[in-house]
Amino acid sequence: MRVLLISAFCVGLIACRTSSDKESIENKQIDLKTAVSSYTSFYENGMTKLTGPGFEKFYRNMVSSKDGEPMKESPDLHSKSIATVPFDTEVYLKSNSRESTSDSVIEEKVLTSQQEKWLFVITEFYLNPGDYGYSEDLIEPTQIEGYIQSNSISKQLDSTKKSGIWRYFYKSGGLEKEEYHHKGRLIKKSILIKMEM
């Protein structure tokens, strides 16, 4: 009786292992199917121009004030201004401030109250005269962080190449180069030399 139970238990384990192996094989096959190119662009003559796994969409946070937006040391309108972040500069959110201001603003003899949320951001741009840390010898963009009001930032849709192999072709149809992208970055580029006969 004991031998019969042990043999039934072993047969059950083997059956479970076989079914899990089939599932892992199916998962691998699905991964291979998704690796196939899902994006293709063409030349005017109908030849393939570019193939790859497709594009991944995401949002960038951009300064939307045409005159730029003052960056402050602390989340307060009366705080010291560090710099003016130029229009259409990308900013990266480090944190949302729990503080919001309710500052009184006199505009054309009308007293109004502004209630705005502050965002702690980091960004990189060329400093101008009057900005904190500016010098004439500064030739590289400067990375600075500070507080900006949330109403001065807009989200803009953008896209990046998905991870995988991207192939570029000549108008004649020959393979020009291959690039391997991973998480939005170019990892390796292979340029193929066109042999003339």
User: Each residue of 21-46: pLDDT tens digit?
Assistant: 444 333 333 343 344 458 999 999 99
pLDDT tens digit sequence for 175-194: 999 999 998 888 888 887 66
112: its two tokens:
């109004």
DSSP-based three-state secondary structure for 156: strand
The pLDDT score that the predictor gives to residue 141 is 83
* Beta-carbon count within 10 A of 77 CB: 15
Mean pLDDT value across residues 55-75? 92
Tokens of 75: 């989340």
pLDDT of residue 37: 52
